[in-house]
Amino acid sequence: MTTSTSSRERVAEGADRPAVEIVNVRKSFGDVEVIKGLSLRVARGEVLCIIGPSGSGKSSLLRCVNHLEKIDFGAILLDGSYVGYRRVGETLHEMRLSAIAAQRAQVGMVFQRFHLFPHMTALENIIEAPVGVRKESKAEATARARALLDRVGLADREGAYPGQLSGGQQQRVAIARALAMQPKVLLFDEPTSALDPELVGEVLTVMRSLAEEGQTMIVVTHEIGFAREVADRVVFMDDGQVVEEGLASEVLESPREQRTREFLGKVL
C-alpha cells in the first residue's frame, strides 16, 4: 500500500519534536468511520489522558499508534519517524513486517485484559520479548525483569503463574512487561476497567510513579480522578473526533464545550 504525503504536515525537527504526532488520521471498519481526521501531539515526558464515551474511537486510536490497526489516511509519527511506513519522496510505503515489529517494540502497550501467557511465570512473561525480539541475553533480561517486578511491588511473585495472581497483580506484571522493552511511549487502554474496585488503586499507584519519573504516556481511561491528578493534558473524544483538549484542570474543572460538560456531568 502506498500513500501520498503531499498534504501532510511536516514533523518538527530537533528538541521541539514531539514524542508522538498524529496528523489528520482517519480509520474505518467497513462502512463505519471510527476516527475522523484527528490530530494530536504528545510531548516527551507528557502524560496525556483521553476520556470520552464508549465507541468514541479512543481504543482504536491507541491501536493505530503502534500499527496494530492500519490507518486509512493521514500519518502517525513516533519520535519523528512514520509509524508503519517509510517515506520515499512524497509517498509512504508500508514497511516489512520485521521492521514494523522492531518499531512496535519502542511502544509499550498495556491492555484492558492483561494478555499474559498463562503457561509462563510472571518473570518468564517479562523476559519473553527482550530475549525473543531484542535478542538480549537471558541473564540481562532476567536482571531487568526482577528490578521491574520490585518496582511494581511484586518482587516476591516472580515464580507465580497468571492464574495464581489477582487481576491487579496481573496488570502490574503487564506493566512491567511493557517497561522491559524500554519503550519511548507507554500506551494504556483502560488499564483498570477489568479490575475489581478494590484492586484499581494498586495499578494507579504504579502509573502515578511512572508519571512522576517522566515516562511519556497516553492513557485511555474512565478514571477521572486519576486524570485530574496525573495528566498534564486531557483530551475529550466523541464520535471519532477531538471535541476538547487542554490542561487537565481546565478540561475537567471548566470545560468549554457543552458535549464535554454533558459527559463529565454523567461520570463525576
The pLDDT, as a whole number, for residue 9 is 41
Up-side HSE of residue 140: CA atoms within 13 Å toward CB?
9
Please compute the mean of the pLDDT values over residues 187-191 and round it to a whole number.
93
The average confidence (pLDDT) of the chain is 90
Please compute the mean of the pLDDT values over residues 63-68 and round it to a whole number.
93
Please compute the mean of the pLDDT values over residues 146-157 and round it to a whole number.
96
Please compute the mean of the pLDDT values over residues 69-82 and round it to a whole number.
93
Sequence letter at residue 216: T
The pLDDT, as a whole number, for residue 203 is 92
With vertex at residue 13, the alpha carbon angle to CA 11 and CA 16, rounded to the nearest 5 degrees, is: 95
- 59 or 91: whose pLDDT is higher? 59
Percent of the chain with pLDDT over 90: 76
Q: Tell me if residue 246 falls in helix, strand or coil.
A: strand
The pLDDT, as a whole number, for residue 57 is 96
Split at pLDDT 50, 70, 90, the class of 144 is very high
The pLDDT, as a whole number, for residue 237 is 97
User: What's the rounded Cα separation, in Å, for the pair 110 and 149?
Assistant: 15
Instruction: Report whether pLDDT(94) > 60.
Output: yes
CATH architecture of 17-265: 3-Layer(aba) Sandwich (3.40)
Kindly report the pTM of this predicted structure. 0.90
The pLDDT, as a whole number, for residue 39 is 97
The pLDDT, as a whole number, for residue 215 is 94
Which ranges in 133-196 belong to alpha helices (H)?
A: 138-151, 167-179
The pLDDT, as a whole number, for residue 71 is 94
The pLDDT, as a whole number, for residue 15 is 53
Closest CA to 218 of 205, 232, 199: 232
Domain boundaries, the chain: 17-265
pLDDT in tens, 162-188: 999 999 999 999 999 999 999 999 999
